[in-house]
Structure 1
Amino acid sequence: MTFDAIGIAGTSMNVHRKWLDAVADNIANVNTAKSTDEEAFRARYLRAQEGEGVSGVYVASAEFGDAEGRMVYEPEHELADADGYVRYPDIDLGEQMSALIIAQRGYQASAAVVERARSSYEAALQIGKN
């Protein structure tokens, strides 16, 4: 049972780490400008799924945001087209910050499960020694 808890929490930590990586990448590129003839930075969203035949969770797929992005009128920008528009990603910074907090707390909770399971296992070993 203890090893199951460690394994399951470990898979959760892995998923939360990948989620944190994706969110951090999205946040880092929220202001990435492109010319209007290029695709906007596409935000990455992960889909997690329960393991089939095994305990835990894994990243089933990555989905990407709209390459169309949003057009912003910035005639002074070096990438502006003849009409003065620049393409930016369609990323909601508030949504990404919320996802960052949720992913971080999920990672921390899973790490706490691993630590508690480890402590329980060590205590059981000490009982068995005596």
Structure 2
Amino acid sequence: MGLFDAIGAAGSGMTVARKWMDAISDNLSNMNTATRTNADAFRQRFVTATSVQYGAEHGNQAGGVRVTGVAFGKADGRMVHEPDNPLADENGYVKYPDIDLASQMGQLIMTQRAYQANAAVVDRAKSSYEAALQIGKK
């Protein structure tokens, strides 16, 4: 694996982390979205990813990861008694998504660390490449 392969693999990790952060931000921004009890609640987003083996797909492709899709949580939600809410049913209940703030914040921290780690790999590979170019100047 060469320096450019390391940059490609780390870049793919950064892309997955960014898409994971997008899903988390979507979950966080919709966790307080109320709906009628007879409607589906906002469905939590989960990013699914898979590893790409070095040289596997096109003969010389760098390893890394890629997003393979998005999975959705249950639309059941949780019932909350809010009789003053304009969406409340005859019993005073509305439905909210079943999204746990603590879990989302934990995932956000993991995603930020993954992005930072991959960005550090790109930076180190770039520094190594620049150092290799300086060898020929002397």
TM tier, smaller: over 0.9
Match in the other structure for 2:45: 44
For residue 74 of structure 2, the aligned residue among 63, 66, 69 is: 66
Moved more, 99-108 or 51-60: 51-60
- The CA RMSD over aligned residues, in Å, is 0.9
DSSP-derived class of the 1:129 partner: coil
Q: Please give the residue correspondences for 1:80-99 in structure 2 after superposition, counting only pairs within 5 Å.
A: 80-99=88-107
Identity %: 58
CA distance in 1, matches of 2:89, 2:70: 32
How far residue 114 of structure 1 moved from its aligned partner, in angstroms, is 0.3
TM-score (norm 1): 0.96
Matched, 1:26 2:34: no
Quote how far apart the aligned CAs of 1:24 are. Answer: 0.6
- Partner Cα separation in structure 2 for residue 105 and residue 78 of structure 1: 41
Structure 2 unmatched runs, 5+: none
Matched AA of 1:20: M
Distance 1:22 1:45 in 2: 7
TM-score, structure 2 normalization: 0.91
In structure 2, how many angstroms separate the alpha carbons of the residues matched to 1:6 and 1:56?
10
Where does residue 57 of structure 1 map in the other structure?
65
Who is 1:9 aligned against?
Answer: 10
Find runs of 4+ consecutive structure 1 residues off by over 3 angstroms: none
Match of 1:117 among 107, 125, 128: 125
One-letter amino acid of the counterpart of residue 92, structure 1: D
CA deviation after TM superposition for structure 1 residue 129, in Å: 2.1
| Between 63-72 and 45-54, the greater mean CA deviation after superposition | 45-54
Q: Secondary structure of 2:8's partner?
A: helix
Aligned-partner Cα distance in 1 for 2:16–2:88: 39
After superposition, give the CA deviation of every residue in 1:92-125 in whole Å (9 maximum; x if it has no partner).
1100000001101110110111011001000000
Q: Which residues of structure 1 form unaligned runs of 5+?
A: none
How much has 1:72 moved relative to structure 2? 0.8
- The AA in structure 2 aligned to 1:103 is T
Residue identity in the other structure for 1:13: M
